């Protein structure tokens, strides 16, 4: 493959942010322990991801089997329709997520210096259409990033440059990005320290699952809905001024909130304290889906407020 190194990657897409208090860093890495309970987990970890963080994410995915959802429950049914799936079994949900998330990289990974392209032009669908928010990236100062769907960023930048971008991931190799569905997430500092205090394993697992499903949604959409980009929260909102809200009713915060709610309902061994933490987590996320009356106006009609956006993805894996 004829590769040419690229520079300049515009950042600013798909952020899940929180303003929670910082806890101790949890990045002691040495010898990797393979995921024990569910060998079918398909996430690929770049070699810079600390082993304990990879193990924690694998454990979260594996914990789906301990939190089986009741498909006859109306809240689960609503989530299934929103996700356009008829399989809410643990395996079905895992597949839905892994269709959209494949690679996990360390937040410190310098992706700009690991970006390549071929010298061949690449044909994108809807070549000149990008989300409005993509060209109006808001500052995230004051926010703490939990995870970031960098795959969608790389794809969108490739689309802008009309070339296929390829990321060289240590320990994995060259990963072409012909679609956001290639699914590449960077771990932010908030994923392992944002909850504050001692939380039980089940609370941490549900938090991380909600995050993974949130980020998975950023791998969907096309044209103006590409990446289901966040909107800046309006004045008066807890996150006013930050790109930490959704206009759509089927976006990342909706998916994340539904997952947290339904997994919490499925938790049979949660303590009263666990349930308090999980309900607070749910409310924080659900509150980021904007009331259309408070949303900005003048948006693209297929990516405006108070409606389900078209989730058909661009490109193919
Ligand atoms: Zn997000």
pLDDT tens digit sequence for 37-80: 456 778 999 999 998 899 999 999 999 999 999 999 999 999 99
Kindly give the distance from the C-alpha atom of residue 15 to the centroid of ligand 1, in angstroms, as a whole number.
4
Arithmetic mean of pLDDT, 281-293: 93
Cα(119) to centroid(ligand 1), Å: 32
Residue 54 parent element (H or E): helix 51-62
Q: What rounded mean pLDDT belongs to the chain?
A: 85
Q: Would you say residue 82 has pLDDT above 90? A: yes
Tokens describing residue 94: 């895992």
Please name which of 85, 80, 115 lies closest in space to residue 262, comparing C-alpha atoms.
80
The 173-176 sheet, strands edge to edge: 4-5, 115-121, 163-169, 173-176
Q: Cα of 4 to ligand 1 centre, how many Å?
A: 30
Question: What distance in angstroms lies between residue 51's CA and the mean position of ligand 1's atoms?
Answer: 24
CA distance linking residue 244 with residue 190, whole number of Å:
14
> Ligand 1 centre and the CA of 23: distance in Å?
21
Average pLDDT over residues 127-156: 81
> Cα dist. 237→19, 226, 254, 294, 305 in Å?
13, 25, 17, 10, 16
Beta carbons of 181 and 125 less than 8 angstroms apart: no
CA of 218 to the centre of ligand 1 (A): 7
């Amino acid at each position: 493959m004829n590769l040419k190194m690229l520079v300049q990657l515009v950042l600013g897409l798909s952020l899940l942010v929180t303003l929670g208090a910082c806890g101790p860093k949890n990045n002691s890495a040495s010898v990797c322990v393979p995921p024990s309970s569910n060998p079918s987990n398909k996430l690929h970890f770049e070699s810079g991801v600390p082993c304990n963080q990879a193990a924690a994410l694998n454990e979260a995915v594996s914990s789906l089997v301990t939190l089986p959802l009741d498909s006859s429950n109306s809240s689960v049914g609503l989530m299934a329709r929103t996700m356009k799936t008829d399989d809410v079994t643990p395996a079905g949900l895992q597949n839905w997520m892994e269709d959209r998330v494949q690679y996990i990289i360390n937040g410190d990974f310098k992706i700009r210096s690991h970006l390549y392209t071929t010298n061949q032009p690449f044909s994108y669908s809807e070549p000149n259409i990008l989300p409005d928010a993509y060209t109006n990236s808001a500052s995230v100062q004051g926010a703490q990033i939990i995870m970031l769907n960098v795959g969608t960023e790389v794809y969108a930048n490739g689309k802008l440059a009309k070339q296929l971008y390829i990321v060289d991931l240590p320990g994995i190799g060259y990963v072409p990005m012909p679609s956001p569905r290639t699914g590449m997430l960077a771990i932010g500092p908030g994923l392992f320290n944002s909850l504050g205090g001692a939380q039980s394993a089940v609370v941490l697992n549900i938090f991380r699952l909600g995050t993974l499903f949130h980020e998975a949604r950023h791998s969907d959409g096309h044209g103006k809905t590409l990446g289901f980009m966040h909107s800046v929260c309006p004045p008066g909102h807890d996150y006013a001024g930050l790109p930490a809200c959704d206009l759509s009713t089927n976006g990342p915060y909706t998916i994340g909130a539904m997952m947290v709610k339904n997994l919490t309902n499925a938790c049979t061994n949660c303590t009263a304290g666990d349930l308090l933490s999980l309900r607070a987590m749910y409310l924080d996320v659900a509150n980021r889906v904007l009331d259309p009356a408070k949303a900005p106006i003048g948006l693209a009609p297929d990516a405006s407020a108070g409606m389900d956006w078209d989730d058909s993805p661009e490109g193919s894996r």
